[in-house]
Structure 1
Amino acid sequence: MQNDHIAANLPSKNFTETIKFYQSLGFEVQYLSEQWLILQRGHLQLEFFPYPALDPSNSYFSASVWVHDLDALYTTWQQMDWQQFSASGRMTELQQQGDLRIFNVIDCHGSLLRCMAL
């Protein structure tokens, strides 16, 4: 059986803002330097590199988040106070797309997390 996993290197306009956003989703800082940030939530790990010139409204960066219990993750993240991030951070409804169940999270710097069931 495959563990939940993420394989991603995403941009961060500001590490402090990135940490605040992802901590609200239950991630913890595993590593932080001026050049790299690693956040982890259970088996889920995201890595970030600094990109101060990033325009979140034109970001094309994304990651796939594969989990065994998509409903639990969706319910947990749905209860977050998304208004604290205004329009920059948001989450879509859980959808069925063919054989795939999916919801999306757009982080505070415009990166897309496609959350899907294993």
Structure 2
Amino acid sequence: MTDHATPNLPSRDFDATARFYAALGFEPTWKDGGWMILTRGALKLEFFPYPDLDPATSSFGCCLRLDDADAFHAVCKAAGVPERSGGLPRVQAPALEHSGLRIGYLLDPDGTLVRLVQNPA
């Protein structure tokens, strides 16, 4: 197995989190009362319970390094995630940033910022 990392993110409700990410193509591979793992191909997100989390003040985040960030953005839109400047959840299309990377943004219902980073060609 190659080295890898998996983000550990908060969930106020595992069932609600699983439903949201299922619409984006993630499937549960582990779930018990204290941990949940969702996968989509090589992507893996791990969640811990945080029932008292205030999504409006959450500072949790992670990056998904994607071969096609535009396609993932399209999946989010097709799943009904709105593209807007406020509210949760929401998505923003990938765009070229000062870093030279194309990055989009997804905020999930728990306020977690998921950066959609385009892998270099």
TM-score of the alignment, normalized to the shorter chain, above 0.5: yes
Instruction: Give the superposed CA RMSD.
Output: 1.9
CA distance in 2, matches of 1:6, 1:116: 15
Residue in 2 that maps onto 1:60: 59
Matches within 5 A, 1:33-72: 33-72=32-71
CA distance in 2, matches of 1:8, 1:57: 20
Higher-RCO chain (CA-CA 8 Å, sequence separation at least 6): 1
* Alpha-carbon spacing, 1:6–1:63, altered in 2? closer, same or farther (3 Å): farther
State the AA in 2 paired with 1:114.
Answer: R
Unaligned runs of 5+ residues in structure 2 are none
> Where in structure 1 do 4 or more consecutive aligned residues deviate above 2 Å?
none
Residue in 1 that maps onto 2:92: 92
CA distance in 1, matches of 2:5, 2:21: 14
C-alpha distance after superposition, 1:63-92 (max 9, x if no partner) = 111011222212222222126xxx321101
State the AA in 1 paired with 2:63.
Answer: S
TM-score (norm 1): 0.88
Unaligned runs of 5+ residues in structure 1 are none
What is the percentage of aligned positions where both structures have the same residue?
38
C-alpha distance after superposition, 1:23-77 (max 9, x if no partner) = 1111001100000000000111000000111000100000111011222212222
CA distance in 1, matches of 2:114, 2:89: 11
Structure 1 residue matching 2:103: 3-state secondary structure:
strand
Structure 2 residue matching 1:25: 3-state secondary structure:
coil
Give the aligned length. Answer: 113
CA distance in 2, matches of 1:94, 1:115: 7
CA distance in 2, matches of 1:56, 1:77: 19
Residue in 1 that maps onto 2:25: 26
